[in-house]
Amino acid sequence: MVKILEISDLVFMEKIHYPNISIEQGSIVFIQGPSGSGKSTLIRLINNTISPSSGRILFNGVNIEDINSIDLRRKIILVGQSPYLFNTNIKENFILFHKFRETPFPEDKKLMEYLHICCANFPLDTQCINLSGGEKQRIFLAIALSFNPQILLLDEPTSALDSSTADCVMVNITQYCKENHITLLIVSHDTVLGKQYAEQIIRIGGMK
Protein backbone atom coordinates (compact mmCIF):
# COMPACT_ATOMS: atom_id res chain seq x y z
CA MET A 1 0.00 0.00 0.00
CA VAL A 2 1.09 3.59 -0.67
CA LYS A 3 2.29 5.59 2.32
CA ILE A 4 0.39 8.86 2.36
CA LEU A 5 1.93 10.24 5.57
CA GLU A 6 5.31 9.60 7.14
CA ILE A 7 6.27 11.39 10.32
CA SER A 8 9.75 11.19 11.77
CA ASP A 9 11.54 12.76 14.76
CA LEU A 10 8.73 15.25 15.21
CA VAL A 11 9.01 17.63 18.18
CA PHE A 12 6.72 20.53 19.01
CA MET A 13 7.89 23.49 21.13
CA GLU A 14 10.78 21.35 22.42
CA LYS A 15 8.24 19.71 24.74
CA ILE A 16 6.14 17.20 22.84
CA HIS A 17 8.07 14.38 21.20
CA TYR A 18 6.10 12.24 18.77
CA PRO A 19 6.83 8.65 17.80
CA ASN A 20 7.70 7.93 14.17
CA ILE A 21 4.45 7.33 12.33
CA SER A 22 3.65 5.80 8.94
CA ILE A 23 0.11 5.91 7.56
CA GLU A 24 -1.18 4.11 4.48
CA GLN A 25 -3.47 5.74 1.98
CA GLY A 26 -7.15 5.07 2.63
CA SER A 27 -6.66 3.71 6.14
CA ILE A 28 -8.68 4.53 9.24
CA VAL A 29 -6.33 5.69 11.98
CA PHE A 30 -7.13 6.67 15.56
CA ILE A 31 -4.82 8.91 17.61
CA GLN A 32 -5.15 8.27 21.30
CA GLY A 33 -3.41 9.35 24.46
CA PRO A 34 -3.93 11.22 27.72
CA SER A 35 -5.10 14.84 27.87
CA GLY A 36 -2.33 17.27 27.05
CA SER A 37 -0.28 14.64 25.24
CA GLY A 38 -0.41 16.57 21.98
CA LYS A 39 -3.06 14.69 19.97
CA SER A 40 -4.80 17.79 18.62
CA THR A 41 -1.41 19.45 18.14
CA LEU A 42 -0.33 16.52 15.94
CA ILE A 43 -3.19 16.99 13.48
CA ARG A 44 -2.55 20.75 13.39
CA LEU A 45 1.08 19.97 12.57
CA ILE A 46 -0.06 17.63 9.81
CA ASN A 47 -2.16 20.29 8.06
CA ASN A 48 0.58 22.86 8.71
CA THR A 49 -1.44 25.40 10.69
CA ILE A 50 1.40 25.22 13.22
CA SER A 51 5.06 24.37 12.69
CA PRO A 52 7.22 21.85 14.55
CA SER A 53 10.48 22.74 16.33
CA SER A 54 12.14 19.84 14.51
CA GLY A 55 11.40 16.68 12.56
CA ARG A 56 9.54 16.22 9.32
CA ILE A 57 6.19 15.22 7.92
CA LEU A 58 6.05 13.74 4.44
CA PHE A 59 2.77 13.90 2.51
CA ASN A 60 2.89 11.60 -0.52
CA GLY A 61 6.68 11.56 -0.09
CA VAL A 62 7.05 15.37 -0.08
CA ASN A 63 7.98 17.37 3.02
CA ILE A 64 4.92 19.49 3.88
CA GLU A 65 7.22 22.48 4.45
CA ASP A 66 7.88 22.36 0.69
CA ILE A 67 4.19 22.39 -0.20
CA ASN A 68 2.16 25.61 -0.43
CA SER A 69 0.22 25.61 2.85
CA ILE A 70 -3.10 26.52 1.18
CA ASP A 71 -2.73 23.70 -1.35
CA LEU A 72 -1.85 21.34 1.49
CA ARG A 73 -4.88 22.32 3.59
CA ARG A 74 -7.15 21.78 0.60
CA LYS A 75 -5.96 18.19 0.46
CA ILE A 76 -5.69 17.64 4.21
CA ILE A 77 -8.84 19.01 5.81
CA LEU A 78 -8.95 19.48 9.57
CA VAL A 79 -12.32 19.44 11.32
CA GLY A 80 -11.72 21.04 14.72
CA GLN A 81 -13.47 20.38 18.01
CA SER A 82 -15.57 23.55 17.87
CA PRO A 83 -17.74 23.60 14.77
CA TYR A 84 -18.14 26.99 13.11
CA LEU A 85 -21.20 27.62 11.00
CA PHE A 86 -22.34 30.87 9.45
CA ASN A 87 -25.53 32.32 10.87
CA THR A 88 -27.70 31.21 7.98
CA ASN A 89 -29.29 28.01 6.65
CA ILE A 90 -27.52 24.72 5.88
CA LYS A 91 -27.37 25.17 2.10
CA GLU A 92 -25.99 28.73 2.45
CA ASN A 93 -23.29 27.35 4.73
CA PHE A 94 -22.18 24.88 2.04
CA ILE A 95 -22.28 27.71 -0.52
CA LEU A 96 -20.30 30.13 1.67
CA PHE A 97 -17.54 27.67 2.57
CA HIS A 98 -17.13 26.65 -1.08
CA LYS A 99 -17.18 30.31 -2.11
CA PHE A 100 -14.39 31.11 0.37
CA ARG A 101 -12.40 28.15 -0.98
CA GLU A 102 -13.23 29.15 -4.56
CA THR A 103 -14.27 25.56 -5.34
CA PRO A 104 -17.28 24.44 -7.42
CA PHE A 105 -20.43 24.16 -5.39
CA PRO A 106 -22.01 20.64 -5.30
CA GLU A 107 -25.62 20.22 -6.39
CA ASP A 108 -28.41 19.83 -3.82
CA LYS A 109 -28.64 16.05 -4.32
CA LYS A 110 -24.96 15.68 -3.44
CA LEU A 111 -25.38 17.95 -0.38
CA MET A 112 -28.19 15.72 0.88
CA GLU A 113 -25.88 12.74 0.43
CA TYR A 114 -23.14 14.36 2.54
CA LEU A 115 -25.70 15.24 5.21
CA HIS A 116 -27.00 11.67 5.13
CA ILE A 117 -23.48 10.26 5.59
CA CYS A 118 -23.16 12.45 8.69
CA CYS A 119 -26.60 11.36 9.95
CA ALA A 120 -27.86 14.93 9.62
CA ASN A 121 -30.93 14.49 7.47
CA PHE A 122 -32.22 18.02 7.83
CA PRO A 123 -33.87 20.07 5.07
CA LEU A 124 -31.32 22.33 3.36
CA ASP A 125 -33.23 25.47 4.36
CA THR A 126 -32.92 24.70 8.10
CA GLN A 127 -31.47 27.68 9.98
CA CYS A 128 -28.26 26.59 11.75
CA ILE A 129 -28.93 28.87 14.73
CA ASN A 130 -31.82 26.60 15.73
CA LEU A 131 -29.67 23.45 15.79
CA SER A 132 -28.11 21.77 18.83
CA GLY A 133 -24.34 21.43 19.32
CA GLY A 134 -24.34 17.82 18.08
CA GLU A 135 -26.42 18.70 15.01
CA LYS A 136 -24.06 21.56 14.15
CA GLN A 137 -21.09 19.21 14.55
CA ARG A 138 -22.58 16.78 12.01
CA ILE A 139 -23.36 19.51 9.49
CA PHE A 140 -19.85 20.88 9.92
CA LEU A 141 -18.54 17.39 9.20
CA ALA A 142 -20.75 17.10 6.10
CA ILE A 143 -19.34 20.38 4.79
CA ALA A 144 -15.79 19.09 5.31
CA LEU A 145 -16.66 15.88 3.42
CA SER A 146 -17.96 17.92 0.50
CA PHE A 147 -14.41 19.24 -0.09
CA ASN A 148 -13.29 15.73 -1.16
CA PRO A 149 -10.00 15.74 0.77
CA GLN A 150 -7.25 13.17 0.46
CA ILE A 151 -6.88 13.11 4.24
CA LEU A 152 -9.62 13.99 6.70
CA LEU A 153 -8.45 14.94 10.20
CA LEU A 154 -11.21 14.79 12.80
CA ASP A 155 -10.69 16.14 16.30
CA GLU A 156 -13.09 14.41 18.71
CA PRO A 157 -15.83 14.16 16.05
CA THR A 158 -18.32 12.44 18.33
CA SER A 159 -17.77 14.52 21.48
CA ALA A 160 -21.21 16.19 21.27
CA LEU A 161 -23.10 13.09 20.10
CA ASP A 162 -25.02 10.40 21.95
CA SER A 163 -23.71 6.86 21.47
CA SER A 164 -26.23 5.75 18.80
CA THR A 165 -25.73 8.90 16.70
CA ALA A 166 -21.96 8.58 17.18
CA ASP A 167 -22.15 5.01 15.88
CA CYS A 168 -24.28 6.08 12.91
CA VAL A 169 -21.77 8.83 12.01
CA MET A 170 -18.74 6.60 12.47
CA VAL A 171 -20.17 3.68 10.40
CA ASN A 172 -21.15 5.99 7.54
CA ILE A 173 -17.98 8.09 7.53
CA THR A 174 -15.56 5.18 7.71
CA GLN A 175 -17.49 3.42 4.92
CA TYR A 176 -17.53 6.58 2.75
CA CYS A 177 -13.82 7.19 3.30
CA LYS A 178 -12.96 3.58 2.45
CA GLU A 179 -15.02 3.71 -0.75
CA ASN A 180 -13.41 7.01 -1.79
CA HIS A 181 -9.83 6.17 -0.68
CA ILE A 182 -9.84 9.03 1.83
CA THR A 183 -7.40 8.56 4.69
CA LEU A 184 -9.12 9.20 8.00
CA LEU A 185 -7.22 10.34 11.11
CA ILE A 186 -9.36 10.63 14.19
CA VAL A 187 -8.36 12.10 17.54
CA SER A 188 -10.55 10.47 20.15
CA HIS A 189 -10.53 9.79 23.86
CA ASP A 190 -13.01 7.00 23.28
CA THR A 191 -10.99 3.79 23.35
CA VAL A 192 -14.10 1.68 22.59
CA LEU A 193 -14.68 3.69 19.41
CA GLY A 194 -11.04 3.17 18.50
CA LYS A 195 -11.20 -0.59 18.97
CA GLN A 196 -14.38 -0.72 16.92
CA TYR A 197 -13.34 1.32 13.87
CA ALA A 198 -9.56 1.75 13.81
CA GLU A 199 -7.30 -0.11 11.41
CA GLN A 200 -4.33 1.49 13.12
CA ILE A 201 -4.08 3.12 16.55
CA ILE A 202 -1.34 5.64 17.29
CA ARG A 203 -0.70 6.19 20.98
CA ILE A 204 0.82 9.50 21.90
CA GLY A 205 2.84 9.40 25.11
CA GLY A 206 3.20 13.04 26.06
CA MET A 207 5.96 15.37 27.21
CA LYS A 208 9.56 14.37 27.81
Q: Which residues bind other proteins (CB under 8 A)?
A: 47, 49, 70-75, 77-80, 82-84, 97, 100-102, 144, 147
* Residue with Cβ nearer other proteins (80 or 206): 80
* Residue with Cβ nearer other proteins (38 or 83): 83
* Residue with Cβ nearer other proteins (91 or 171): 91
* Least distance (Å) between residue 137 CB and other proteins: 12
* Residue with Cβ nearer other proteins (101 or 116): 101
Helix (H), strand (E) at residue 115: helix 108-117
* Least distance (Å) between residue 93 CB and other proteins: 11
Alpha carbon separation from 200 to 55, 153, 195 (Å, rounded): 22, 14, 9
- Could you tell me which residues come within 8 angstroms of residue 80 by beta carbon, excluding any fewer than 6 positions away? 155
* Least distance (Å) between residue 133 CB and other proteins: 13
* Residue with Cβ nearer other proteins (26 or 149): 149
Q: Is 60 left (phi over 0), alpha (psi -120 to 50) or beta?
A: left
* Least distance (Å) between residue 47 CB and other proteins: 6
Cα–Cα distance between 43 and 98 in angstroms, integer?
A: 22
* Least distance (Å) between residue 183 CB and other proteins: 16
Residue among 94, 84, 87 at smallest CA distance from 127? 87
Residues present in the chain in total: 208
